[in-house]
């Protein structure tokens, strides 16, 4: 930085500067601009150093020309004006220069013109779609297969771009402006910006529904449909389309007005409209919706989520199969299985995906302890399981069954030996059961609750459970002379049809953390976890995701009743 003082210029104060002028004298940079300066349009106006003045004295007719040169030019010159009255000192003309301000304006205008030109080129050229796209499409909406499908739906050539979803993309910028004005008056009017539940199911969503049919259904009592893009923001990158936050759910479920409208609508709808379709072959526990529905305000899983439908008051498992979880897990007489006490995993094994448990079956899970052996002397002789008719047929053909057993299992080949073997077995059986009818009655209706181990159970004592009769586990109904009715047990594969769960993601926990099986003595006990057991982890405090979409899916399949015309 300089330490010298800037010289104080000795300027004529009448000559103030005008920086706002567009042009300055071309000699300004030399430090000697002319006083006249350029014209507003940038032309040099220099002529002569002065305009001589005609001085007429009294009595003179011609007069004398007087120099009027200003102080800037050195004052009146010695030579004076020419006889014709013109100045003898002509000023050399210059090329006026633009002022700094004018140059800035010129650059600004040039830049704006370049922007406009660039935009015109960009928005009208063949690459305009690549230029205006805000971000890459998600993987789901990219690639040749999507292009092919979109083209097929739009009945257009493959390879079309934005127009596959944005119908308005077909036009030019003028058309876009027109569409923008329309949107500004309707769906994107200012009033819509502060609308908690803006809906526009007319334009963009129509393109979505072309491919995603029936994906617009959520619940039958939804008061107003939600635009796809409220939850699924496209143009967010390759992987971001399906990421939906809980805030999108609580937009409606956290809004009292919305929920009140939904409740009012739900009261008018038949209960069948709320039955979620089940997967064929999968037994689902039917927990009916409360009469008031689930239309209370829910802002978070921890604070407002209602108790799970399946464990709400007065719910019970209606299965007829008698089973005591507590006895099997904690009973002192329960034999070891593979050297270990029984545990949950002894019977409940995950399916291939690990998400759910395989269905418990007699053959795989019960028979190992509960064999259907009815003759203690022939442990290989077992009653068939699964159909009472077969059981009766088996019992009524016991001589033939013993003969078959003797031949195939015991290797008795001689006819006489076989006959003797059959007679011995039948005689021993009769001594114990007296008659075939009584044996049949004991097989079907016998159970462990009838006191001492019935005859069919054979010898008492430690070891695997002895067969005491079908009624030990099953509900058996006598039907006169007809085969007794054994009510088929129904064990649900899915208990919470409205939520999703994955056991594989919870392997760090013990079964008993959620299922109080060790305390359940009755079949009617529903030993599913309560909401409280989930919120221990699935909450802000627990640190595990508690978003709605962790368990729920928005896109529910429409119920059959709803599809069959009820939707109107």
Partner 1 sequence: MSRHLALRRSFFIGLLLAASAAAIWKYEQLRPVYPRLVYLTGWILFALILVLTAYNVRKKLAFLPLFSSRTWFQVHVYTGLLTGLAFALHLRGRWPTGWFEGVLAGLFVGVTLSGIAGWWLSNVLPKRLTTAGGEVLYERIPVIRRELRLKAEALALQAIPEAKATTLADVYARELSGYFSAPYNFWANVFGSRRLRNFLLSSLAEAKRYYTAVEQANADQLAELIREKDAIDFQRTAQLILKGWLFVHIPLTYGLIVFSAVHVVLVYAFSGGAR
- Interacting residues with partner 1 between 353 and 412 (CB under 8 A): none
Residue 126, interface with partner 1 (CB under 8 A)?
no
Stretch that binds partner 1, among 39-47, 84-92, 171-179, 545-553 (CB under 8 A): 171-179
If the CB atoms of residues 169 and 321 are measured against partner 1, the closer one turns out to be 169
The Cα 526–Cα 515 span in angstroms is 9
The Cα 374–Cα 137 span in angstroms is 68
If the CB atoms of residues 230 and 283 are measured against partner 1, the closer one turns out to be 230
Residue 123, interface with partner 1 (CB under 8 A)?
yes
**Which of 131, 292, 490, 560 is close enough to bind partner 1 by CB under 8 A?**
131
Q: Residues 336, 342, 348, CA angle at the centre, nearest 5°?
A: 140
Contact 266, 220 (CB under 8 A): yes
Stretch that binds partner 1, among 166-174, 280-288, 337-345, 450-458 (CB under 8 A): 166-174
Q: Residues 149, 151, 156, CA angle at the centre, nearest 5°?
A: 155
State the minimum distance, in angstroms, from the CB of residue 117 to partner 1.
11
Site for partner 1 in 454-513 (CB under 8 A): none
Helices (H), 135-245: 143-154, 173-185, 190-193, 204-211, 228-231
Residue 14, interface with partner 1 (CB under 8 A)?
no
Which whole-number Å values give the CA distances from 145 to 34, 80, 141, 240, 391, in the listed order? 75, 93, 9, 19, 57
**Which of 26, 138, 217, 248 is close enough to bind partner 1 by CB under 8 A?**
248
The Cα 369–Cα 215 span in angstroms is 48
If the CB atoms of residues 104 and 449 are measured against partner 1, the closer one turns out to be 104
Stretch that binds partner 1, among 59-67, 170-178, 334-342, 409-417 (CB under 8 A): 170-178
Stretch that binds partner 1, among 107-115, 290-298, 402-410, 505-513 (CB under 8 A): 107-115
Residue 165 DSSP code = T
DSSP, collapsed to helix, strand or coil, labels residue 433 as: helix
If the CB atoms of residues 166 and 503 are measured against partner 1, the closer one turns out to be 166
Beta strand segments in 171-270, E: none
Residue 230, interface with partner 1 (CB under 8 A)?
yes
> Taking CB under 8 A as the rule, which mask of x and - marks residues 48-87 in contact with partner 1?
----------------------------------------
Residue 28, interface with partner 1 (CB under 8 A)?
yes
The number of beta carbons lying within 10 Å of the beta carbon of residue 198 is 17
Stretch that binds partner 1, among 22-30, 410-418, 514-522, 533-541 (CB under 8 A): 22-30
From the list 227, 177, 175, the residue with the least C-alpha distance to 204 is 227
Residue 234, interface with partner 1 (CB under 8 A)?
yes
If the CB atoms of residues 251 and 493 are measured against partner 1, the closer one turns out to be 251
Q: Residues 180, 182, 187, CA angle at the centre, nearest 5°?
A: 95
If the CB atoms of residues 204 and 439 are measured against partner 1, the closer one turns out to be 204
**Which of 54, 55, 82, 116 is close enough to bind partner 1 by CB under 8 A?**
116
For residue 360, report the phi and psi dihedrals to the nearest 5 degrees: -75, 130
Residue 243, interface with partner 1 (CB under 8 A)?
no
From the list 87, 79, 83, 88, the residue with the least C-alpha distance to 62 is 83
If the CB atoms of residues 200 and 261 are measured against partner 1, the closer one turns out to be 200
**Which of 77, 88, 119, 139 is close enough to bind partner 1 by CB under 8 A?**
119
The Cα 136–Cα 221 span in angstroms is 36
If the CB atoms of residues 122 and 522 are measured against partner 1, the closer one turns out to be 122
DSSP, collapsed to helix, strand or coil, labels residue 494 as: strand
Residue 438, interface with partner 1 (CB under 8 A)?
no
The Cα 97–Cα 332 span in angstroms is 109
Site for partner 1 in 199-228 (CB under 8 A): 200-205, 207, 227-228
The number of beta carbons lying within 10 Å of the beta carbon of residue 109 is 10
């Amino acid at each position: 930085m300089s330490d010298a003082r800037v010289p104080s210029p000795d300027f004529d104060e009448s000559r103030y500067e005008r920086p706002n002028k567009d042009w300055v004298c071309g000699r300004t940079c030399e430090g000697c601009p002319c006083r006249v300066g350029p014209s507003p349009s940038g032309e040099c106006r220099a002529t002569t150093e002065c305009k001589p003045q005609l001085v007429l004295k009294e009595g003179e007719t011609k007069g004398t020309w007087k120099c009027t040169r200003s102080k800037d030019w050195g004052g009146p010159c010695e030579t004076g004006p020419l006889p014709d009255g013109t100045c003898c000192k002509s000023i050399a003309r210059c090329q006026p220069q633009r002022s700094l301000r004018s140059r800035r304006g010129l650059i600004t205008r040039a830049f704006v013109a370049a922007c406009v030109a660039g935009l015109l080129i960009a928005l009208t050229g063949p690459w305009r779609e690549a230029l205006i796209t805000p971000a890459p499409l998600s993987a789901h909406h990219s690639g040749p297969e999507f292009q092919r499908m979109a083209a097929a739906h739009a009945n257009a050539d493959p390879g079309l771009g934005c127009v596959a979803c944005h119908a308005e993309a077909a036009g030019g910028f003028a058309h876009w402006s027109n569409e923008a004005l329309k949107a500004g008056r309707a769906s994107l009017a200012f009033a819509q910006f502060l609308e908690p539940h803006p809906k526009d199911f007319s334009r963009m969503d129509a393109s979505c529904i072309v491919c995603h049919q029936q994906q617009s259904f959520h619940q039958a009592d939804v008061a107003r449909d939600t635009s796809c893009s409220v939850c699924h923001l496209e143009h967010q990158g390759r992987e971001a389309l399906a990421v939906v936050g809980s805030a999108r759910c609580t937009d409606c479920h956290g809004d009292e007005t919305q929920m009140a409208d939904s409740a009012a609508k739900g009261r008018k709808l038949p209960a069948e409209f709320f039955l979620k379709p089940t997967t064929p072959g999968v037994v689902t526990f039917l927990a009916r919706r409360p009469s008031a529905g689930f239309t209370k305000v829910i802002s978070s899983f921890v604070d407002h989520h209602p108790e799970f439908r399946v464990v709400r008051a007065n719910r019970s498992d209606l299965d007829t199969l008698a089973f005591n979880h507590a006895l099997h897990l904690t009973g002192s007489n329960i034999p070891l299985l593979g050297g270990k006490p029984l545990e949950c995993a002894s019977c409940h094994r995950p399916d291939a995906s690990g998400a759910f448990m395989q269905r418990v079956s007699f053959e795989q899970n019960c028979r190992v302890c509960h064999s259907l052996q009815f003759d203690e002397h022939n442990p290989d002789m077992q009653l068939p399981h699964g159909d009472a008719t077969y059981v009766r047929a088996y019992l009524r053909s016991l001589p033939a069954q013993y003969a078959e057993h003797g031949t195939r299992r015991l290797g008795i080949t001689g006819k006489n030996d076989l006959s003797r073997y059959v007679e011995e077995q039948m005689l021993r059986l009769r001594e114990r059961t007296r008659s075939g009818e009584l044996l049949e009655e004991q097989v079907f209706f016998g159970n462990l609750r009838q006191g001492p181990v019935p005859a069919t159970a054979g010898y008492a004592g430690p070891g695997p459970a002895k067969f005491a009769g079908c009624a030990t586990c099953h509900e058996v109904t006598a039907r006169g002379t007809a085969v007794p009715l054994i009510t088929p047990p129904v064990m649900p594969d899915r208990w919470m049809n409205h939520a999703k769960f994955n056991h594989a993601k919870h392997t760090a926990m013990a079964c008993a953390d959620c299922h109080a099986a060790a305390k359940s003595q009755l079949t009617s006990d529903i030993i599913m976890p309560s909401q409280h057991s989930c919120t221990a982890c699935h909450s802000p405090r627990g640190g595990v995701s508690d978003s709605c979409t962790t368990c729920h899916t928005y896109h529910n399949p429409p119920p059959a009743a709803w599809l069959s015309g009820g939707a109107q």
